[in-house]
DNA sequence: GTTAGGG
DNA sequence: CCCTAAC
C-alpha cells in the first residue's frame, strides 16, 4: 500500500531522452511480487530455529535454482522479451493498474528432502514470504514522469514504518491441536504446469478459519512493532487507532486497529506499574519521554487534529 | 465502520 | 485477543 519504495521507472527506449517526443517513460511502482506457493513440512517437535532454517533452505534452494521475473499484464503473461513496453501495451498514457510481476523458478528443483505433506497445513503463506517476495505492482503515476513522489508527504513517520522492522515473522496460523497444523519440511511446489501463469497470483489463503470461532494465534508484539506503534501514537495521539493502523501498520495484516489499541493499553498499563523498567525493554513512556511536549503519554486526541499540529479552525 | 472498555 | 456497547 504505502510502500514508499521507489518508483522504478522504465524507459521504452533509451535512457536518454531521444529526440523523439514520443518516447515517454513509464513509471511503475512495484509493491510486491507474486511468488510460487511454498509448502513446508516439519515435525511438531522441531524447534523454531530448525523451522526457520528449513524455510531459509527452501528459499535459498529456490534462489539458487534461479529465478526469473515474469510480467503479467491484465493477467496475461508477457513472454516476448523483445517486445517493447509500448508494444506490450505498457505506455505512460495507459492505465497500468493491472501489471503484476512474478517470481518464477528458473528450473524446477527437486524437493529438498522427502516431500511429505502432513495433513493440511494452514498457514499464511503470504506472511511467510513477505520479505522477499509477494510484491504487487501498481501504476501510481498515470502521467508524466516528473520524478517526485510526494505521495507520502502526509506520513512523515513512515520512516519507521514496519516495512523495515517487520522481519519474517512467519506467523503460522495454526488451529492449535484441532485442525492439525503442523509444519514440516518446506518444499517449493514448483508448479510443473506448463506455463508460467502457474505460479502467478499466489493464492493467499487468508481465511483459514472457515469455521469462525477459531481464536487467532497469539503474536507478541515485536520491539519494532512497539516502536512503530509508539511513533504513530506520538504523531496521531490516542483515540485514532484507525489512523495509527494505516500509518504504521498498513502492511501488517494481522494487526487490527483494535489490536493496536489493546497493545497501547497494555503498554501504558505496564509502564505505569513499573516506572523503573528493568533495563531491557523500553516502555512506551520511555519512548515518548524524549519529547513529551504533550501530557506525557496518553494524549487522547479528541476528534480534531493530531497533537502539535496547530489546528486552527476558522 | 470506529472507539473505548471490560472480559 | 475477544466481545460489544455506544457512537
CATH code at A248?
Answer: 1.10.246.220
Residue A232 located in a structural domain: yes
A295 lies in some domain: no
A309: Cβ contacts below 8 Å, ≥ 6 apart = none
| Residue A284 counted as domain residue | yes
Highest averaged pLDDT of the listed ranges A87-96, A119-128, A251-260, A263-272: A251-260
Positive or negative CA dihedral for A193, A198, A199, A202? negative
Q: Looking at residue A24, what is its pLDDT?
A: 75
- DSSP summary character for residue A96: -
For A50-64, A199-213, A244-258, which range has the lowest pLDDT when averaged over its residues? A199-213
Nucleotide in closest CA–C1' contact with A216: C1
| Cell numbers standing for residue A99 | 501489471
A80 within some domain:
no
- Residues A224-254 pLDDT 10s: 999 999 999 999 999 999 999 999 999 999 9
Q: Is the CB of A216 under 7 A from strand C?
A: yes
In contact, A229 and A265? CB cutoff 8 Å: no
A281 is in which domain, residue-wise?
223-288
Task: List own/partner pairs for A282-289 with CB under 8 A and 24 or more apart.
Answer: A284/A226, A284/A229, A284/A230, A284/A233, A287/A226, A287/A227, A287/A230, A287/A231, A288/A230, A288/A233, A288/A234
pLDDT value of residue A249: 96
- What is the reported pLDDT for A96? 64
More confident site: A298 or A85: A85
**Protein-contacted bases of chain C (C-beta within 7 A):** 1-4
- CA A180 to C1' B6, in angstroms, rounded, equals 33
Which of A11-20, A65-74, A126-135 ranks highest by mean pLDDT?
A65-74
In this structure, what C-alpha cell is assigned to residue A252? 501488517
Q: Give a yes or no: residue A279 inside a domain.
A: yes
Angle (CA) A228 A234 A236, round 5°: 100
Does residue A34 lie in a domain region?
Answer: no
Long-range contacts of A146-154 (CB under 8 A, 24+ apart): A147/A7, A147/A9, A149/A4, A149/A7, A149/A29, A151/A2, A151/A4, A152/A2, A152/A4
Spatial distance from the CA of A110 to the C1' of B6 (Å): 54
Residue A157 is given by DSSP the state G
Grouping H, G, I as helix, E, B as strand and the rest as coil, residue A103 is strand
Residue A270 maps to a domain: yes
Q: Which nucleotide is nearest to A236 (CA to C1')?
A: B3
Residue A256 has pLDDT above 90, yes or no: yes
Q: How far out from the chain centre does Cα A141 lie? A: 21
What distance in Å separates the CA atoms of residue A41 and residue A44, rounded to the nearest whole number? 9
The verdict on residue A94 lying in a domain is no
Mean pLDDT of chain A: 58
Task: Please check the confidence at residue A223 and state whether its pLDDT lies above 90.
Answer: yes
Select, from the ranges A34-43, A81-90, A139-148, A232-241, the one with the highest average predicted confidence (pLDDT): A232-241
- CA A262 – C1' B5 distance (Å)? 10
Task: Point out the nucleotide closest to A212 (alpha carbon to C1′).
Answer: C2
Q: Which nucleotide is nearest to A259 (CA to C1')?
A: C1
In sequence order, what are the beta bridge partners of A103? A69
Region A96-103: mean pLDDT is: 70
**Count of domains for chain A:** 1
Residues of A 210-249 whose CB lies less than 7 Å from any atom of strand B: 238-243
Amino acid at each position: 500500500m504505502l510502500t514508499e519504495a521507489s518508483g522504478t521507472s522504465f524507459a521504452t527506449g533509451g535512457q536518454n531522452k531521444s529526440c523523439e517526443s514520443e518516447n515517454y517513460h513509464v513509471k511503475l511502482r512495484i509493491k510486491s511480487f507474486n511468488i510460487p506457493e511454498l509448502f513446508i513440512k516439519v515435525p511438531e517437535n522441531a524447534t523454531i530455529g530448525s523451522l526457520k532454517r528449513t524455510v531459509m533452505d527452501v528459499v535459498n534452494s529456490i534462489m539458487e535454482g534461479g529465478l526469473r521475473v515474469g510480467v503479467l499484464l491484465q493477467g496475461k503473461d508477457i513472454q516476448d522479451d523483445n517486445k517493447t513496453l509500448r508494444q506490450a501495451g505498457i505506455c505512460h498514457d495507459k492505465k497500468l493498474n493491472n501489471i503484476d510481476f512474478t517470481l518464477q523458478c528458473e528450473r524446477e528443483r527437486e524437493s529438498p528432502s522427502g516431500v511429505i505433506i502432513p495433513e493440511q497445513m494452514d498457514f499464511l503463506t503470504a506472511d511467510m514470504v513477505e520479505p522477499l517476495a509477494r510484491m504487487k505492482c501498481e501504476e501510481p503515476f498515470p502521467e508524466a514522469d516528473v520524478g517526485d513522489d510526494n505521495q507520502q508527504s502526509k506520513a512523515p513517520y513512515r520512516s519507521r514504518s514496519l516495512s523495515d522492522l517487520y522481519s519474517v515473522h512467519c506467523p503460522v496460523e495454526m488451529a492449535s491441536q484441532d485442525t492439525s497444523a503442523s509444519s514440516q519440511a518446506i518444499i517449493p511446489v514448483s508448479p510443473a504446469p506448463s506455463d508460467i501463469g502457474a505460479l502467478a497470483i499466489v493464492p493467499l489463503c487468508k481465511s483459514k478459519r472457515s469455521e469462525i470461532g477459531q481464536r487467532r494465534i497469539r503474536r507478541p508484539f515485536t520491539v519494532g512493532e512497539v516502536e512503530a506503534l509508539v511513533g504513530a501514537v506520538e504523531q496521531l495521539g490516542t483515540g485514532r487507532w484507525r489512523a495509527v493502523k494505516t500509518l504504521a501498520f498498513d502492511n501488517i495484516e494481522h494487526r487490527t486497529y483494535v489490536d493496536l489499541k489493546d497493545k497501547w493499553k497494555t503498554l501504558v498499563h505496564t509502564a505505569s506499574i513499573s516506572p523503573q523498567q528493568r533495563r531491557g525493554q523500553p516502555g512506551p513512556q520511555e519512548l515518548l519521554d524524549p519529547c513529551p511536549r504533550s501530557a506525557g503519554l496518553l494524549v487522547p486526541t479528541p476528534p480534531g487534529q493530531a497533537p502539535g499540529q496547530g489546528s486552527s479552525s476558522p
